[in-house]
């Protein structure tokens, strides 16, 4: 009686097979990928980025290497994280709101917080941006919209770095604050109108589709390059999950959502920064996490490796 083969006979490229398995070459320091990633970026390609803490790392390297990275509002402290003063934006809900206030008339019912003790005016939707008066806040935000529109309409590549799925949602109008922090929260501001919850697959996909629609209407030549941040949650607000499991859920959900999103659009691409950091680097015996009090971040060597692969993929 003839024996059946456990594995079917099939022709795989080396990047389709787990590094070092059977007769496939082991990990050699270059993340396995097809020769043609479908996207080419030169130093003259206008690039914008937005998202979580890792978006800031991408910004730093692109500027250092002389790429045409778009920088608006360079006078503004919040612009150090992205191409405009969007601050850090950890979830797709907050990202969607950026596109809607930039190109549409997004106006939440409660626009500003005033800290109970210091009386500082705080922007709930752009993490911790503070003003001395409401007039100053309104004037700065009006200028910000102009700069935001410039950045998003000039970009030929827009990198979106997705961070987490935990959100704080206004129970009245559904607006999502970026993070409950800053003097308003620390000084005992009323947070009763907000509820914490986890954004699920369908909602996150809907947010990305809305972003794609807005960009298609206002900058149709722009291509979106999606990444999932390899920076883990520092803490979780969930009561039903530990921080490691909550972080894994956030990353897994966003990775799955991104896969579906990319498959739907010819002008959307995925760059596997998360996989490079969390799987490939440990596979080659390299450390992933930073040391010290921010050990949920990736270390500098990992950032450098990811950006080396970025240039190898697209340049």
Q: Is 172 domain-assigned?
A: no
Sheet holding 47-51: strands in order across?
47-51, 157-162, 223-228, 268-270
* Inter-axis angle of helices 92-103 and 134-154, nearest 10: 90
Q: What is the mean pLDDT of the chain?
A: 94
Q: Which residues constitute the domain of residue 253?
A: 48-105+143-165+202-314
CB burial string 116-128: b at 16+ within 10 A, e below: eeeebbbbbbbbb
Q: Is 310 domain-assigned?
A: yes
Residue 8: count of CB within 10 angstroms of its CB? 6
Q: Is 184 domain-assigned?
A: no
- Contacts (Cβ under 8 Å, ≥6 apart) of 278: 230, 288
pLDDT in tens, 88-137: 999 999 999 999 999 998 999 999 999 999 999 999 999 889 999 999 99
Q: pTM surpassing 0.75?
A: yes
pLDDT of residue 2: 53
Q: How far apart are CA 234 and CA 90, in angstroms?
A: 12
pLDDT in tens, 27-58: 999 999 988 888 999 999 999 999 987 888 88
| Block residue for tokens 């969007």 | 86
Q: Both tokens of residue 188?
A: 């005992």
Q: Give burial (CB, 10 Å; 0-12/13-18/19+) of 239.
A: exposed
Q: Both tokens of residue 101?
A: 């206030």
pLDDT in tens, 214-257: 999 999 999 999 999 999 999 999 999 999 999 999 999 999 99
Q: Is 4 domain-assigned?
A: no
pLDDT of residue 53: 79
Q: Is 8 domain-assigned?
A: no
Domain count within the chain: 1
Q: Is 174 domain-assigned?
A: no
pLDDT(211) > 60: yes
What's the average model confidence in pLDDT over 72-82? Answer: 91
pLDDT(8) > 80: no
What's the average model confidence in pLDDT over 299-311? Answer: 94
pLDDT of residue 3: 58
Please list the residues that pair with 69 across neighbouring strands.
47
Q: Is 135 domain-assigned?
A: no
What's the average model confidence in pLDDT over 183-197? Answer: 96
Q: Is 194 domain-assigned?
A: no
* Domain containing residue 75: CATH number: 3.40.50.1110
* Lowest-confidence region among 147-156, 165-174, 288-297: 288-297
């Amino acid at each position: 009686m003839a024996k059946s083969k456990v594995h079917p006979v099939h022709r795989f490229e080396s990047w389709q097979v787990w590094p070092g398995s059977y007769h496939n070459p082991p990990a050699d320091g270059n993340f396995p990928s097809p020769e043609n990633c479908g996207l080419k970026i030169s130093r003259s390609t206008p690039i914008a980025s937005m998202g979580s803490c890792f978006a800031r790392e991408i910004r730093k390297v692109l500027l250092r290497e002389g790429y045409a990275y778009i920088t608006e509002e360079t006078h503004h402290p919040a612009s150090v994280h992205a191409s405009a003063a969007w601050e850090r934006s950890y979830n797709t809900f907050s990202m969607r709101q950026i596109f809607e206030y930039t190109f549409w008339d997004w106006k939440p019912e409660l626009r500003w917080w005033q800290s109970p003790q210091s009386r500082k005016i705080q922007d709930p939707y752009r993490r911790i941006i503070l003003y001395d008066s409401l007039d100053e806040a309104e004037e700065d935000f009006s200028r910000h919209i102009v700069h935001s529109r410039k950045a998003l309409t000039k970009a030929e590549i827009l990198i979106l770095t997705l961070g987490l799925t935990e959100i704080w949602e206004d129970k009245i109008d559904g607006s999502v604050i970026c993070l409950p922090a800053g003097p308003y929260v620390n000084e005992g501001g009323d947070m009763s109108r907000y509820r914490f919850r986890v954004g699920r697959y369908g909602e996150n996909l809907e947010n990305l589709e809305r972003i794609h629609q807005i960009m298609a209407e206002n900058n149709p030549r722009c291509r979106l390059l999606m990444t999932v941040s390899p920076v883990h949650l520092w803490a979780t607000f969930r009561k039903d999950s530990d921080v490691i499991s909550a972080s894994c859920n956030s990353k897994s959900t966003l990775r799955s959502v991104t896969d579906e999103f990319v498959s739907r659009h010819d002008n959307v691409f995925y760059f596997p920064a998360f996989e490079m950091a969390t799987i490939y680097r440990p596979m080659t015996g390299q450390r992933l996490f930073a040391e010290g009090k921010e050990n949920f971040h990736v270390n500098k060597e990992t950032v450098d490796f990811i950006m080396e692969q970025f240039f190898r993929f697209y340049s």
